[in-house]
Structure 1
Amino acid sequence: MGIALQKRLLTSKFENSVHEMMINIMLANTFIRMRMDEAFEDTDLTFPQYNLLRILNGAYPAGYSRGEISRRMIDRAPDMTRMIDRLVKRGLVERARSGEDGRQAITTITAKGRALIAPVNAKVKAVHKKVGEMISEDDARQISQLLEKLYGYDAQAMAGGDSED
């Protein structure tokens, strides 16, 4: 067992190495999320809202349907419609009917939304840099490859796809 994990949890007993690994991943997630939350604490945004704005900013000036946004989210938001509604009320995104399919609404980021996340993106890059100072590029690649083994087995489910489509 790693010394940092043992000190953090004040225990040295795990069922097996898989259990230890899962605890390590959860603690690493908490560590990174706390740093990310600090990056946008002055914006009154949640991580999922920031993620949604980042996705739409990448599509700018175009936008995405609710379903496409959901597929691209890091965390699956259970009620995407309400989250978009809250961002519309704040003037950070707009919704309009699709020109191709009038039944579908397309959400786009507004100038206000772009202005809000620009400084946040700089803070997020600072978090990337800080984490990069703790872990080498080679280690980061290796960790990414190993983590993809965990969720890559069911990439379609992770992407919000339906196996019956």
Structure 2
Amino acid sequence: MPKIEELVKVKQFANPWHRVTINVIYTSNWLNVMLEKRAGAKQLTLQQFNVLRVLRGQFPSPVTNNLLKERLLTKTPDISRLVDRIVGKGLASRAKNHEDKRAVDLLITDKGLQLLSEIEQDMMLEDILQTSISSDDCLQLSELLDKFRGKMDD
């Protein structure tokens, strides 16, 4: 397993904080590429997959664009276009919101639920993670990442 120094071709980092910063960024990018490939195999983007997960999580209640913006893992400035693509694929349906005339309600369709059930296990990267790190390591890594984010300002 190559070390981050080998991957980014650096002899030595300035300090452990510099090394972990580069390692987190590099690993995040690696994960995004892996997930985009897996989503792409089902003609989805990673953001579309995440929208479907949010819609399923709220099902059978509808979701507005504003709720999607709050819940998405990656922020997107053009939520309307993202929603248009999902609706166009028949993975979600759109209806007028009765309380707010400017808002639109989104609901995942049976087709969207079926697609999620087909792809979700691949998207959790269990096949890679289970061969790379133990469940205890996963828990420890998650705790460290939570601790790291706890000190960040938005």
TM above 0.5: yes
- Paired position in structure 1 for 2:107: 108
After TM superposition, the structure 1 stretch with the greater mean CA deviation from structure 2, 32-41 or 14-23, is 32-41
* SS at 1:77 equivalent: coil
- Paired position in structure 1 for 2:35: 36
Which 5+ residue runs of structure 2 have no aligned equivalent? none
**TM-score, with structure 1 as normaliser:** 0.81
**TM-score, with structure 2 as normaliser:** 0.86
Q: Distance in 1 between matches of 2:74 and 2:149?
A: 13
Structure 1 residue 50: deviation in Å?
0.7
Which 5+ residue runs of structure 1 have no aligned equivalent? 158-165
Structure 1 residue 74: deviation in Å?
0.7
The answer as to 2:151 corresponding to 1:150 is no
Number of positions where the alignment pairs a residue of Structure 1 with one of Structure 2 = 154
Structure 1 residue 83: deviation in Å?
0.7
Q: Distance in 2 between matches of 1:135 and 1:45?
A: 28
- Runs (4+) of structure 1 exceeding 4 A deviation are none
Q: Distance in 2 between matches of 1:3 and 1:12?
A: 13
The answer as to 2:24 corresponding to 1:25 is yes
Letter in 2 for 1:72: R
Q: Distance in 1 between matches of 2:48 and 2:26?
A: 22
Once the two structures are superposed, the pairs formed by residues 126-137 of structure 1 within 5 Å of their partners are: 127-137=125-135
Q: Distance in 1 between matches of 2:39 and 2:22?
A: 26
- Paired position in structure 2 for 1:162: none
Once the two structures are superposed, the pairs formed by residues 1-165 of structure 1 within 5 Å of their partners are: 4-125=3-124, 127-153=125-151, 157=154
Letter in 1 for 2:51: L
1:90-128 alpha-carbon deviations (Å, 9 max, x no partner) = 222112123444443221111222222221113224x22
1:116-155 alpha-carbon deviations (Å, 9 max, x no partner) = 2221113224x22421331122221121111112323458
Letter in 2 for 1:52: V
* Identity percentage of aligned residues: 28
* SS at 1:52 equivalent: helix
Letter in 2 for 1:142: Q
Q: Distance in 2 between matches of 1:119 and 1:97?
A: 29
Letter in 1 for 2:41: D
